[in-house]
Amino acid sequence: MKLQIYRKPTHTDQYLNFNFHHPVVHKLSGVRTLLERSKSLVTDSEDKEKEDTHVEEILRTCGYAEWSFRKVKRQNDLKTVQKKKAKQQHTSVKRSLVMIPYVEHTSEVVARTVRKYDVHVAMRPWKTLKGTLVHPKDKPEKENITECVYKVPCANCDKIYVQGAAK
């Protein structure tokens, strides 16, 4: 049986543009995913070469440079070697994970620095469009809030009126 990658006729070959504001590791993971897909699914070596060439062409149109493909291939080769060593030693190394907000040029430096201490860094956007636009609940009117303490200064004198919630 011969397996190849299928793309629907409506597939547009649009992927994350390399110039967009995203961590470089996210961009490289897209390259890695597409190349590993052909490596693991396509059965014929000629078809694998054809698929890899197609992936590199479409990613080049999205702004990916030649160094990104070389880096991903080098990382895949290194992972393969490390997996073989880990199987021989029968040990699995657990690394600490830290989640940090993504700030262009700064987050990458932080990730490189803590990597020396065997800490894995994951980056996520600190502000998203969804978080900015979507508020699933309306804020209640102050007069309608229950089970809280009110502290109201008098408009005519220096007294303060406090009303507590009774339970």
Strands (E), 59-109: 96-101
**pLDDT for the residue 125:** 83
**Distance from chain centroid for Cα 140:** 34
What values do phi and psi take at 150, rounded to 5?
-100, 140
Nearest to 30 by CA among 15, 12, 19: 15
Q: What is the pLDDT, as a whole number, of residue 164?
A: 65
Q: pLDDT in tens for each of the 167 residues of the chain? A: 889 999 999 999 999 999 998 889 899 999 999 999 988 899 999 999 999 999 999 999 999 999 999 999 999 888 888 777 777 776 556 678 888 888 888 988 999 898 888 888 888 887 778 877 887 777 777 677 767 777 788 889 888 877 765 54
Whether the predicted model's global pTM rises above the 0.85 cut: no
CA 38/CA 27 separation, integer angstroms: 18
Q: What sign for the dihedral angle of Cα 5, 11, 17, 21?
A: negative
Residue 31's pLDDT is 93
**β-pairing verdict for 96-101 and 119-124:** parallel
